[in-house]
Structure 1
Amino acid sequence: MVRKPVSDQSGGPVGGGAHSARLDAEDLDRIQAGLRQAVHAQERMCQLLDAVLAISSALDLRVVLHTITDTARQLVQARYAAVGVLGQEGEFAELITSGFGTDQSRSAGDEMPHGAGLLGDLVRDPRPLRVDNVVTHPHAVGFPEGHPIMTTLLGVPIRVRETVYGNLYLADKADGPFTGEDQDIVTALAGAAGVAIENARLYERLRQATEEFQRRLLPRMPRPEGLELEARYQPSTETPRIGGDWYDVIHFPGKVCCLVVGDVMGHGLESATIMSQISNMLRVIAFEEREPPSRILHRLDDVLHALHGGPLATVLVARLEPAAGGGRLMRWSPAGHLPPLLVTADREACYLHADAGLPLGVDPTLPRPDNEHFIPADSTVLLYTDGLVEHPADTLEDGMRHVAEMAAARATESLPHLCDALLTHRRGRFHDDVALLAARVTH
């Protein structure tokens, strides 16, 4: 026999359906709240990962510091943010701010925080610091003149292992005081920031060492009669690497100069070594052969094939010799290299286009072209490697046109100023190494 459940007067089971329904609604609310919290936590975790990737993708220290400051402020919805970088003695050496209208960057020599108040607490005791009311905090010492009044503060040290690089400060969260979750997220971000700062500093030291090594392979400029010479070498700012770009000037008797600029294919220590070998061989061959430039390149290609299997390189050899009535006659031969740029005193600039020939290392038996052009007094010849005019964002034609326009606009400036200007046309950032050699005919 099947028993029917005992019912109350309402016809429902004993225990009441209304109470069960109420419990079910509360449970559902709790589940929904938990889901919302989980989604929020997942979103913040994704934001944190995006911030870490943004910080880690930069190698320039100033870019890293600004990225840390901006991403931290956005991550916890703070109104203000700052990164204080500590010097060797534990003092503030640099301060990067975000959210102050015009974001600032101050370094040694500017007025820096003295570390007497809450900022100093974090310097002296590098542990997370959370303050709900800055004004009433016993260690607060007030704000400098013109500084916005802040209410809440979250500060965490930026460190890697036992090394403290600085502190990250956030102020005035949009929806109330900073929470423990905010502290955890900013602490995780600060950990990634410490690694990014350490990498940026290592990169800077490597870049300086690389540049110094490369410069030691390049010659000093002679001072031949009737010519003013200037040269620049700019390593790539994309990655720290040693390249195969070089320039050289060989001074012959009779007021004759041989100008050389070249670029070994590839990068790294191997390319720099090959560059040094080619440069030294070319000097010896140029002294032996003297002219024409095509003969120098032909002999060089022969020797390189015999001794080193023919490494690939582009080279331009130009011979400047006095011309009757003043000025210079330039004879040049390119081995797959970009054309010289002639800039006259009346602000005209043109590329001396000619048969570019084949790079070294292709076939030493093929003939090489020779070219001639008269260089009037007060004119400048610019030889360069492709890093000056090539960039992934532009076509080669656009890059060459831009360099020519800049050179023409500064044609009457001093040669050092002209060379410096050409290395700033991309705001000093180059995708590849640049070797630049300039010769101005003075009479």
Structure 2
Amino acid sequence: MAACNCTTKPDERGDSSESFDVPDMMLYIIITASVFILLIIGMALMWLKKYRFLMRTIRKLQNVEQPMTEQLSPVDPEADPLKQNFSPVTHAAVKPRESNLIISRPRRQSSKSASRALQRSPQTDGRFNKNDLILHQLIKAGGEGVFYKANMMHGTIKGHSMFTCKIFKKGCSHRQVEREVSVMQKLGTHKNLLQLLDWDITEAPYMLVMEYVAHGTLRSFLQVNQERLCRDQELQQLFTTATYHIAHAMEHMRSKMIVHCDLALRNILVHSFPHEVKVAEFGLAREIARTWSRSSSCKKDYRQRIPSRWYPPEYFKSDVYGFKGDVWAFGIVIWEMQTFGTLPYPNLNTSEEVARYVCAGHRNGEPEQCRPEMIQMMKDCWQEPYSMRPSFKDIVRVLENILENDHDYLDLDKRNQRASMESEESQPSLKTEVYCNTDEC
């Protein structure tokens, strides 16, 4: 009996130890699961709090912007300015605007300086009525819109009886047109920049009214008058004078920290050649923050719209464009002018070919009959890297010196011609006197 008791006790102790191990393991699992669940609940509460805060912020922004956006009519994707009762000699049958547009509406800006510029903008509500618009001669048709000579059926716009009207094509967003108006407002008044007078962008087709120009684009002007201009002995001085005024306009844009991004002969309008040439088309223009350096560059997000034949190699290599990019385009403009509006890189057919050609270091050839000073200026504008190119301030100074030398030369030439004419006028009278005296008349 004693032996039996001894053998059974260890088994009882083993069963009791196993009975104690199972609850301990269960307790450990329960504690671990509880901690894990609490962590999940805590993270869920934290994300829920952030989500609610984000939704409140979005609702606040929507409440702020909604009163302003209600004033803007939606863009009609089918609205083609050339198909909405616009004809060269009839007025536009478009609904009159019902409310004024406030361009500087509250919205977050990518640049603080851009936001301040919009807040400082002068009067931002256009007031002309599309019903009174009368379109006349077509000036140019671009990728974003068409330009017409126009006037109002009743009255004037800021004292102008005739003006240039830009009508945007379908596909141009309201934000894009609004930005162009903002850029033109910031540029202010300059004799060689096309001035904005009024606008109506409440509903498509969007329109800008600008000052009147008599002779259309500089490209068409040179092509139409090429034969007459080629007979002018002072042609190179005329070209230099026009180039000087274009450079003045670009220097003004640089002082306003705005890059044009679309400088070309087709985007320069002529009122009186060569002194009244005006840089136009600011649809691609962008503002660069004043805290950046003069040679800084800005990223582009509209590769499909760029005029690649006027763009510098750094754009194709690094996707950047700055003030020195406008300098490159200015050199192309000089080349266009000297060749009477010839398309740059005439032997290349596609943008890809132009990009490879330019990035390989090739340039446009030297135009015939072009003065050496302008050839050198073109080469300076096309230097790489872009930091080696001159600024528009330098270009203006060089052109001033060229024109001063031309003026001195012309003055001297005129004085010589005048002296020659006076000597010719006096010479016959002397001969007559001698003849009379000899014959004792």
Normalising by structure 1, report the TM-score.
0.28
More helix by share: 2
Judging by fraction of residues, say which structure has more strand. Answer: 1
Q: Which has the larger radius of gyration?
A: 2
TM-score with structure 2 setting the length: 0.28
